Amino acid sequence: MTDIVDIVTERIEAERAAIVARRRVARPAPTTATPATACAGCGQPIPPARRQARPGAIRCAGCEAAHEVRQARRHRTGV
């Protein structure tokens, strides 16, 4: 007999799998054609010093810091 905990656990796992699948589809493919000169977060120019220090940077330092905080929260909560 299936109890409520099993049912809820299965539903949570299915929802997480759906979220992961949507994120994979929504994520743009990485490009190596030209380095970014405008921040993907705020649209402002990425300072030359940042581009030199991090050639693959797609965000300015401020937006990257905010992005990393959001990512850390997502990993802590498991979503």
Q: What is the pLDDT of residues 42-53, one digit of tens each?
A: 999 999 999 999
Q: Where are the domains of the chain?
A: 4-77
| pTM for the whole structure | 0.52
**Residue in the block written with tokens 């490009």:** 31
* pLDDT of res. 28: 67
* pLDDT of res. 42: 94
Q: Report pLDDT digits (tens) over 13-49.
A: 999 999 888 887 776 666 555 678 899 999 999 999 9
| HEC assignment per residue over the chain | CCCHHHHHHHHHHHHHHHHHHHHHHHCCCCCCCCCCCECCCCCCECCHHHHHHCCCCCCCHHHHHHHHHHHHHHHHHCC
* pLDDT of res. 31: 57
